[in-house]
Amino acid sequence: MSTPDLNLLVTLDVLLAEGSVARAARRLQLSPSAMSRALARLRETTGDPLLVRAGRGLVPTPRALELREQVSQLVQDAQAALRPVQAPDLGRLSRTFTLRTREGFVENFAGDLIARIGAQAPYVRLRFVDKADKDSTALREGTVDLETAVVDKDTRPELRTQALFGDRFIGVVRSGHPLSQVAVTAADYAAGGHIGISLRGLDHGPIDQVLAPLNLTRDIAITVPGFSTALGLARSSDLIASVPERYTASLRVGMHSFALPFEVPAFTIAMLWHPRMDADPAHRWLRGCLREVCGRKTAGI
């Protein structure tokens, strides 16, 4: 069985609405002969005359009357599907977005993000999942809508990325710690006990790479997987935590922070998403909310 020409649906819709070959031809900007040929094809395809002569005009057959409303709705649905995407009605938008982030992001940014979203879209919900590795499979498979990360050479090239804010490492100790009373030198920093932070349990990172040419090493007393855990330990001990400044601003309240006395490369926190979500209006709105919250939260820190 041959596949019907779906372009004939538009022609049939206009013919049934106008009840005239001449008027339908003018509406579709066709010649009367072209419209007559289209009507002949429709008759062949449907196996029904559709429009028959009655006096000087044409009248629909029972089959045509049966098709008229159905065809009209099909054409309207097709036209709606092919229109450019419209901005979502945020007041009625009901959707759950899943965000994959590292420990500390929720504590530092989620409150403002929830408030920003709730003010515009009260039926939108956020679901945060832990970012335990750099694997982007969840973005590709659609189980995660958006994630935050430091973009580097390991970032999958097919993903979309957009910078949220620049950041740098700083040192953090409890209030009243000896290092809070002095201008910290590289030797002072290296001499203290340290908290290592690594998802994979590694003992060395970018700070250790900078210290090595200075003939200095850190004494890492404990290694933990996240920033909030490290800061909790530093708050209740004499250990030093080295964390991103802007990423952890809310977590460091009541503690003493200091600039590292040596140059460690700065980095950029970005959001990542799969290209198939690029044009989705609700997803685009979510990305705008995250950009605004992170920009406002980190401004002037």
Residue 166 — φ and ψ, nearest 5°?
Answer: -85, 155
- Strand extents, DSSP E, 76-224: 95-101, 124-130, 146-150, 160-167, 169-173, 193-197, 219-224
Residues 193, 138: Cα–Cα separation, whole Å = 37
Please tell me the total number of residues recorded for the chain in this structure. Answer: 301
The residues, ordered by sequence, that sit 6+ positions from 226 with a Cβ below 8 Å of its Cβ are 102, 103, 104, 197, 199
Q: What count of Cα atoms within 13 Å lies in the side-chain half-sphere of residue 104?
A: 25
Task: Please tell me the predicted confidence (pLDDT) of residue 220.
Answer: 94
Evaluate whether 242 touches 169 at the Cβ level (below 8 Å). Answer: yes
By the 8 A CB rule, do 261 and 192 touch? Answer: no
Per-residue HEC secondary structure of 20-72 comes to: CHHHHHHHCCCCHHHHHHHHHHHHHHHCCCCEEEECCEEEECHHHHHHHHHHH
Residue 286 C-alpha from the chain's centroid: 6
Within 8 A by CB and 6+ apart from 9, the residues are: 71, 74, 75, 78
**Amino acid, res. 278:** D
* 0.75 exceeded by pTM: no
Q: What is the pLDDT of residue 84?
A: 66
**For residue 111, how many other CB atoms are within 10 A of its CB?**
13
Output the pLDDT for position 297: 66
CB 93 within 8 Å of CB 121: yes
Give pLDDT, residue 301. Answer: 47
- Greatest alpha-carbon pair distance for the chain in Å reads 105
Q: What is d(CA 193, CA 199) in angstroms, rounded to the nearest whole number?
A: 20
Output the CA–CA distances (angstroms, integers) from residue 53 to 43, 185, 287, in the order listed.
14, 99, 59
What is the predicted pLDDT for the residue at 17? Answer: 87
Residue 270: what are its φ and ψ, rounded to 5°?
A: -130, 165
pLDDT in tens, the chain (301 residues): 467 778 888 999 998 888 889 999 999 999 989 989 999 999 988 899 999 988 888 888 999 888 888 888 888 888 777 766 677 889 999 999 999 998 788 888 999 999 999 999 999 999 999 887 777 888 888 899 999 988 776 666 678 999 999 999 999 999 999 999 999 999 999 999 999 998 765 667 889 999 999 999 999 999 998 899 999 999 999 999 999 999 999 899 999 999 999 999 999 999 999 998 988 999 999 999 999 999 886 664 4
Domains of the chain, CATH where assigned: 8-82 (1.10.10.10), 95-167+268-298 (3.40.190.10), 169-265 (3.40.190.10)
Q: Are 201 and 246 in contact (CB under 8 A)?
A: no
Q: Are strands 267-273 and 146-150 parallel, antiparallel or unpaired?
A: antiparallel
Contacts 24+ apart (CB under 8 A), 136-145: 136/272, 138/100, 139/100, 139/272, 139/273, 139/274, 140/274, 142/274, 142/276, 143/98, 144/98, 144/99, 144/100, 145/97, 145/98, 145/99, 145/273, 145/277, 145/283, 145/286
pLDDT for residue 224:
92
Residue 248: the pLDDT is 92
pLDDT at 104: 82
**Which letter does DSSP use for residue 129 in this model?**
E
